[in-house]
Amino acid sequence: MCYRIALNFEDGITRFVDCKPGEKVLDAAFRNKINLPMDCSDGVCGTCKCRAESGAYDMGDDYIDDALTEDEAAEGLVLTCQMVPSSDCVLSVPTTSLACKTGQQVFAATVTRIEPHQDAAVVLELAVDDEAQAPAFLPGQYVNIAVPGSGDHRSYSFSSAPGERSLGFLIKKIPGGLMGNWLARAKPGDRLDLTGPMGSFYLRDGKGPLLFLAGGTGLAPFLSMLEVLARAGSRRQIHLVYGVTRDQDLVLVDELAAYAGRLPNFTFATVVADPASGHPRKGWVTQHMPEDMLAAGGVDVYLCGPPPMVDAVRHYLDGQGVQPASFHYEKFTPNAPLKAIA
């Protein structure tokens, strides 16, 4: 049995290595041709210091205090030259992937389904060639998808769970947009090149309540998180507020209802900003966050949406004096339409 170690670099790139039982993370990385920072490899210099975001591990006692103090260890800092995992782990590496002589993973996939949702969004499903090539990623992360024939790419969060041959994405429809134009003529069997995974927005381990705040197609990473939580049989309290501009922007609500059946402590609310809407909950996400959940403390807040929504939530929490146990957010900006060619 091996443990999967996610290495998150400062430039947003994530690489995964398999660590054998009893093997140190530094050795596992070198075996996978990833040169994590190090000078001594004996627990003396502290050069290999990283932060353990999640997972179980043993540090032993073969390092000196100058390399890693008790306070640093209590805060989750580790020495990769001494760290022996006893579960899957996520490490934050305080340098770039280039400095560690590694880079982004590139893989190909085939279009299996394109499902438009009116003029709001498109569900895109892809399949990698075989299950052994299924990409590893953390729920909430994204990839860059090269738009065929354009020499350019667009970034999209996975809506599917990690380690699956089938990959899912929820893509906002933008009139005249680069990816939108390609999707309008794409068909099953077409091939796409993907680069990733990337991003620091991903689900962390924990036991406290979770508040998910999604704006528009910012719902995608939460679908990935919910699938992971459901498969793990999570008993955490989870509430999702899904805000959109118009009624027709509410997509995949049936999937949220299905998760409410699989996760005993999951609830969700949909909100429409359009004042002319007949939706029972109108306004902004900040007007529909559960006050009791925030007031109780210990809540982990995850937020994904357009910049105005992200800024509004941050200002609201500050104004209310709410300090979540942790707060993770990702802003996304719809790509501009293609310019007309004279």
At residue 335, the pLDDT reads 62
As given in the structure block, the two tokens for residue 40 are 């001594």
**What is the percent of the chain with per-residue pLDDT over 70, rounded to a whole number?**
97
Q: Which tens digit of pLDDT belongs to each residue from 233-252?
A: 999 999 999 999 999 999 99
At residue 332, the pLDDT reads 82
The residue length of the chain stands at 342
At residue 121, the pLDDT reads 97
At residue 295, the pLDDT reads 87
At residue 337, the pLDDT reads 47
Is the backbone of residue 150 left (phi > 0), alpha (psi -120 to 50) or beta? alpha
How many whole angstroms separate alpha carbon 160 and alpha carbon 152?
A: 24
Strands in the chain per DSSP E:
3-9, 14-19, 49-54, 57-58, 77-79, 84-85, 89-93, 106-117, 121-128, 142-147, 152-157, 166-172, 191-198, 210-215, 238-244, 266-272, 300-305, 326-331
At residue 254, the pLDDT reads 98
Q: Which domains does the chain have, with CATH numbers?
A: 3-93 (3.10.20.30), 106-198 (2.40.30.10), 210-331 (3.40.50.80)
Q: Which tens digit of pLDDT belongs to each residue from 43-65?
A: 999 999 999 999 999 999 999 99
pTM of the model: 0.90
Placement of tokens 């049936």 in the chain: 254
Residues of the chain with confidence (pLDDT) below 50? 336-342
Q: Where are the alpha helices (DSSP H) in 2-100?
A: 25-31, 70-74
As given in the structure block, the two tokens for residue 253 are 């609500």
At residue 341, the pLDDT reads 34
Q: Closest Cα to residue 284, out of 305, 299, 302?
A: 305
Amino acid sitting at position 3: Y
As given in the structure block, the two tokens for residue 48 are 């290999």
